[in-house]
Chains A and B, each alone.
Chain A
């Protein structure tokens, strides 16, 4: 299993992501945004979290035009698996690889805390190790995590089972920290090879540090 992690100026979760996937047994490589191609042995491409280009203009808006994104789009369009975490999710929506957009949190605060998530759909390569309705405890750390999609788009992603996760409480009841439409925390594309979520599973790998629920999430990619 070879996991390739993208690094833009301002990315800050690439080493956590690398550590998490190496703990699970993957070989990893971090590639700089100026790269014009993706290594040919890549099994999973991760757009890691952070503040690419200082979040200038909009989160993810400028990273989307980095040289490497052309190769990312091509990789995704050929069925390659892509995971965007936090800023990576924002980049993938800006690039049009995932539906919707991420707005400023409704309460205008940067929110940094553990939050429960409920698995909505698991018939995909990401969450197949979890059951629908499973609740996981994963850190969130974002200012622009308020997922928006218009009514028609929402209908479409719900019908296609593209909604991956919702923010809930520990019992699986809706608890919406940032104002996201339908409390959505993560989605995938129609073909179910591009995944994005605001929470950080790579920061939930050790129970000693609060939660190891990220293990079950990221492991899906290995099976």
Chain B
């Protein structure tokens, strides 16, 4: 069993309005020293395989096909 944690976020250079809104809220709450906020989403997959190489290849394929829209989003995969 392998757990894959996929983090999907908007690409650098693509305006993240949710991040901006959260940043604004943090400012309102007087949290200082926050220079930027990006909001993404996390998708956690439980895979049957123990083969990490195979798991990584499979999850990459999933990201390219559906989990991320690579026109606007980047993804990072962590296997645990």
Contacts and interface: CB of A to CB of B under 8 A. Distances in A.
A103 B66 contact: no
Interface residues of B, number: 11
B5 to A, nearest CB: 16
Contact of B71 (A64, A107, A148, A179): A148
A146 B72 CA distance: 11
Nearest to B72: A101
Contacts of B21: 108
Task: Bin chain A's interface residue count.
Answer: 20 to 34
Given A104-B18, A106-B15, A148 B66 contact: no
B22 to A, nearest CB: 10
A118 B67 CA distance: 35
Contacts of A150: 71
Nearest to A60: B69
A57 B67 contact: yes
A103 B72 contact: yes
B9 to A, nearest CB: 12
A15 interface: no
A5 to B, nearest CB: 25
**Which of B14, B17, B67, B71 has the most chain A CB within a 10 Å cutoff?**
B71
Interface string B33-54: 0000000000000000000000
Interface string A152-168: 00000000000000000
A110 interface: no
A12 B21 CA distance: 30
Nearest to B71: A101
B17 A108 contact: yes
Contact of A104 (B17, B67, B71): B17
B67 A148 contact: no
Contacts of A146: 17
Interface of B: 10, 14-15, 17-18, 21, 66-67, 69, 71-72
19 contacts: A57-B66, A57-B67, A58-B69, A64-B66, A94-B69, A101-B69, A101-B71, A101-B72, A103-B15, A103-B17, A103-B72, A104-B17, A106-B17, A108-B18, A108-B21, A148-B14, A149-B71, A150-B71, A179-B17
